[in-house]
């Protein structure tokens, strides 16, 4: 168990199995010292934890719920990184996070939603988890996921 | 003719002319050993092969058609890479693909659509064509394109 | 004052204060020789210069206005780069720009809008400002911003 693995355990979290791609690609690619992680949706045990657009209207996924789902996406991304590099202590920086939020056009709280992912990266990796980020509200996401998070990380050789 | 050029011919494909940018940018930039390819829309002979949102309702572009269009985007991306690096055998890896699908908000089959691009990269580059990927459903794309595909590739010096 | 600073002044522009992130991340990260700039919205003096979707219908943000806003996003991105690397003359290339335009689904003029950013990068950095680019129309952006621009730049050590 490495330092980062210990921190994940202290946070009461468990790394999931890597989410198998829905299609013809891989969960992550190591390119030199950078890991590109595929867009992660909030799969838990092979099933989406929720579906639908995020917004304030009845029947939509609430911003609070979506914030939790973004953390699930981030955890899935960390599992994808670990599956590729073996030891999470090799992560030198979470460089860039892009958070796509399936949004009712009237919903503009994407930053609060994607914070669910950003905060998890900081909790798990400390200062090394602080990243550049874009948050975007989109029309729809794969399988009806409310949130999708992709990541670029820098790892030690 | 290189190995990759031969495979493109075997697949019955022909690399198009590079699609001239719609605006103030270039089709691709070489940054060290990485090629960043601009978002490619399904231009064929200077004209979009189709326009409109993808979805299941009457009047929308079908998922099957959009899958074909995604392959056209990928072929245009390969042409852009070749225009920059000359020899496609220099491609060591298709690292990352992002597929934007103009989507009716009820359409969640983006992974199947973007597979059209992913599968073409694998057919052309073999194992080197297997990449990390995000697929996202967006409101609208340039000129009414149903699909837009951007790519990061790693090339040999 | 460096060469780039002089050009910014000649263009009659002033670099703003760096826009503080809306959430748990930083405006930009230096990863080796690459700067990843977080998605920038058209903040002026801490306030969004406009809000709403872009389109042709009454009540929407016009394409012309959105073109101006994209330039504001680009200026904020340049400020973020300077805050990280100190001297803008260290910028060797604006490598990649992604422009997200909050779009009425019938609006397909995203390239023209994002040109507002692309043209500013060229005016400020000359040939080094010419980049690869994607332009995408999305449902909604943080705080109701009509445009969001993210950037990858290559800098000298």
- For C62-71, how does the pLDDT look when each residue is reduced to its tens digit (9 = 90+)? 999 999 999 9
Flag if B25 and C118 touch (Cβ within 8 Å). Answer: yes
The C-alpha atoms of residue B144 and residue C123 are separated, in whole angstroms, by 29
- Average pLDDT rounded to a whole number, residues A10-34: 89
Specify the pLDDT at position A116.
Answer: 98
Mutate which: C110, C121, C122, C130, vs B, most B CBs within 10 A: C110
The C-alpha atoms of residue C98 and residue C134 are separated, in whole angstroms, by 5
CB contact residues (below 8 A), chain B span 92-111, against chain C: 98, 100, 102, 105
ipTM for the predicted complex comes to 0.95
Flag if B29 and C131 touch (Cβ within 8 Å). Answer: yes
By Cβ distance, the residue of C103, C119, C132 closest to B38 is C132
The C-alpha atoms of residue B97 and residue B89 are separated, in whole angstroms, by 19
Instruction: Say whether pLDDT at B122 is over 90.
Output: yes
- Average pLDDT rounded to a whole number, residues A7-19: 90
- Whether C39 and A133 have beta carbons less than 8 Å apart is answered as yes
Q: ∠ at Cα A82 (A77, A83), nearest 5°?
A: 95
Q: Does B126 touch chain A (CB under 8 A)?
A: no
- Whether C37 and C153 have beta carbons less than 8 Å apart is answered as yes
Model-wide pTM > 0.80: yes
| Average predicted confidence (pLDDT) for chain A | 95
Q: Please, how many CA atoms are within 13 Å of residue B86, restricted to the half-sphere of its CB?
A: 2
What number of C-beta contacts closer than 8 Å exist between A and B? 93
Specify the pLDDT at position C1.
Answer: 77
C37: closest CA of chain A, how far (Å): 6
Mutate which: B142, B148, B150, vs C, most C CBs within 10 A: B142
Tokens of A32: 């030199």
Q: Is residue A15 classed as helix, strand or coil in its secondary structure?
A: coil
| Average predicted confidence (pLDDT) for chain B | 95
Q: Please, how many CA atoms are within 13 Å of residue B33, restricted to the half-sphere of its CB?
A: 14
Specify the pLDDT at position B1.
Answer: 76
- Average pLDDT rounded to a whole number, residues B97-118: 97
Instruction: Say whether pLDDT at A1 is over 80.
Output: no
Nearest CA in chain B to C131: B25
In DSSP terms, which residues pair with A36 in a beta bridge? Answer: A29, A152
CA Rg value for chain B: 15
Q: Does B52 touch chain A (CB under 8 A)?
A: no
CA distances from A79 to A76, A82, A147 (A): 5, 5, 17
Instruction: Say whether pLDDT at B20 is over 80.
Output: no
Which superfamily is assigned to A3-155 in CATH? Answer: RutC-like (3.30.1330.40)
Specify the pLDDT at position A19.
Answer: 76
Instruction: Say whether pLDDT at A53 is over 90.
Output: yes
Residue A33 DSSP one-character state:
T
Nearest CA in chain B to C110: B142
Angle between helices B3-10 and B110-125 (to 10 degrees): 120
- Whether C122 and C130 have beta carbons less than 8 Å apart is answered as yes
Specify the pLDDT at position A63.
Answer: 98
Chains that touch C (3 or more CB pairs under 8 A): A, B
The segments of chain C whose pLDDT lies below 70 read: 22-23
The C-alpha atoms of residue A19 and residue A105 are separated, in whole angstroms, by 29
A147 contacts in chain B (CB < 8 Å): none
Specify the pLDDT at position B136.
Answer: 98
pLDDT band at A11 (very low <50, low <70, confident <90, very high): very high
| CATH number, domain B3-20+30-155 | 3.30.1330.40
Flag if C114 and B27 touch (Cβ within 8 Å). Answer: no
Q: Please, how many CA atoms are within 13 Å of residue A63, restricted to the half-sphere of its CB?
A: 16
List, in order, residues 6 or more apart from A111 with CB less than 8 Å away. A135, C22, C23, C142, C143
- Burial class, C14, CB count within 10 angstroms (exposed 0-12 / middle 13-18 / buried 19+): exposed
Chains that touch A (3 or more CB pairs under 8 A): B, C
Flag if B23 and C137 touch (Cβ within 8 Å). Answer: no
Could you tell me the residue ranges of all domains in chain B? Answer: 3-20+30-155
């Amino acid at each position: 168990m490495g330092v980062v693995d210990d921190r994940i355990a202290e946070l009461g979290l468990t790394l999931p199995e890597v989410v198998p791609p829905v299609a013809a690609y891989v969960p992550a690619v190591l390119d030199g010292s950078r890991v590109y992680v595929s867009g992660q949706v909030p799969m838990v045990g092979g099933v989406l934890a929720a579906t639908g657009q995020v917004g304030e209207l009845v029947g939509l996924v609430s911003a609070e719920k979506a914030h939790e789902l973004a953390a699930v996406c981030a955890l899935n991304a960390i599992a994808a990184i670990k599956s590729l590099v073996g030891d999470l202590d090799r992560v030198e920086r979470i460089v860039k996070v892009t958070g796509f939020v399936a949004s009712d056009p009237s919903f503009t709280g994407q930053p609060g939603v994607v914070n669910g992912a950003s905060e998890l990266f900081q909790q798990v990796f400390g200062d090394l988890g602080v990243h550049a980020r874009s948050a975007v509200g989109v029309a729809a996401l794969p399988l009806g996921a409310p949130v999708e998070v992709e990541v670029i990380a820098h790892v030690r050789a």
